């Protein structure tokens, strides 16, 4: 059974940075797409970023493009989300998820395995 574990969440000031990590056990991340999605209180889960298996193509929501970077370290079976220039509206629980296939997707239904979530709070 694949298990994903997020780490690196916490409190950041507006304009600050955080790096989230997603490490897998019981299965590989390197041969699948991996996504980060987030859910703020009272809102639906929304797509943030994804990385495909094919040439590590990356995809971002418009709200984070230019501020967030997704990348992977296959040797560590880990995918990261580097978050810069954080805004209060980035506050949410962030989930990493492994996709059905090698192709990245923005739809939550295209992900099989999910982590437990990491809280990110952006506040002064």
- Tens digit of each residue's pLDDT (9 = 90 or more) over 19-63: 999 999 999 998 999 999 999 999 999 999 999 987 778 999 999
Share of the chain above pLDDT 90, in %: 87
Q: Which helix (H) or strand (E) holds 4?
A: strand 3-7
Q: What's the gap between Cα 101 and its chain centre?
A: 16
Rounded-to-integer distance, Cα 54 and Cα 26, Å: 22
Share of the chain above pLDDT 70, in %: 100
- Is 94 buried (19+), middle (13-18) or exposed (0-12) by CB count in 10 A? buried
Rounded-to-integer distance, Cα 95 and Cα 6, Å: 7
């Amino acid at each position: 059974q694949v298990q994903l574990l997020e780490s690196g969440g916490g409190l950041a000031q507006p304009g600050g940075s955080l790096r989230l990590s997603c490490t897998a056990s019981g299965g590989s991340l390197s041969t699948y797409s991996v996504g980060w999605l987030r859910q703020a209180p009272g809102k639906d889960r929304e797509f943030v970023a994804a990385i495909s298996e094919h040439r590590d193509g990356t995809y971002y929501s418009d709200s984070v493009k230019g501020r967030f970077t997704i990348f992977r370290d296959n040797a560590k079976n880990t995918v990261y989300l580097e978050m810069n220039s954080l805004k209060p509206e980035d506050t949410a629980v962030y989930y990493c998820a492994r996709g059905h296939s090698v192709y990245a997707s923005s739809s939550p239904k295209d992900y099989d395995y999910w982590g437990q979530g990491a809280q990110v709070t952006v506040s002064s």
